[in-house]
Structure 1
Amino acid sequence: MGKGFAIGDHVSWNSEAGRVSGTIIAIHTRDFYYKGHTHHASDADPQYEIKSDRTDHIAAHKGGALDLD
């Protein structure tokens, strides 16, 4: 189970390119289809959509991969 975050929270996570940061723009509590894959989410283990600070890239991650900045 991941940590709880809210829309507007500024978070960071590790990526292949190093540490990335951004702002949470959506929270999913049900499975959703994104970028060609089904992402699994629930009330107990949501996934978060985050807009990168440096680019317009949107990433989806579970709370366990994120840290508050």
Structure 2
Amino acid sequence: MSSSFKVGDAVRWNSEAGEIHGKVVKVHTRDTEFMGRHRPASKDAPQYEVKSDKTGHLAMHHGDALKHA
């Protein structure tokens, strides 16, 4: 079961570069395009758009990939 996050929550996630810390900037509850790729999302399985505190880069993850920081 994935955790629920809201805009502004501090989160962390793993990437090829190691653990990244950032904030949730948008919650997607409908299918969307992100960086040229189709990202399925729903109210029951949202996608979270997150911004790295260190680099400012954006990423998108399901709740299972994120942890509260």
**Same-fold status (TM-score > 0.5):** yes
**Could you tell me how far apart the structure 2 residues matched to 1:33 and 1:3 are?**
23
Q: Provide the residue aligned with 2:21 in structure 1.
A: 21
Aligned position for 2:60: 60
The runs of 5 or more residues in structure 1 that have no matched partner are none
Letter of the 2:53 counterpart = D
Indicate whether 1:41 and 2:30 are aligned. no
Counterpart CA distance in 1 for 2:2 and 2:67 is: 11
* Identical positions, percent: 48
State how far apart, in whole Å, the 2-side matches of 1:3 and 1:31 are: 19
CA-to-aligned-CA distance 1:2-26 (integer Å, 9 cap, x gap):
2100100000000000000100000
Residues 34-56 of structure 1 deviation map (CA, whole Å, 9 limit, x = unaligned): 11100010000000011100012
> Normalization by structure 2: what TM-score?
0.96
Between the two proteins, the alignment pairs up a number of residues equal to 69
Moved over 3 A (4+): none
Q: Distance in 2 between the 1:55 and 1:13 partners?
A: 14
CA contact (8 A) 1:2 1:46 kept: no
Return the TM-score normalized by structure 1.
Answer: 0.96
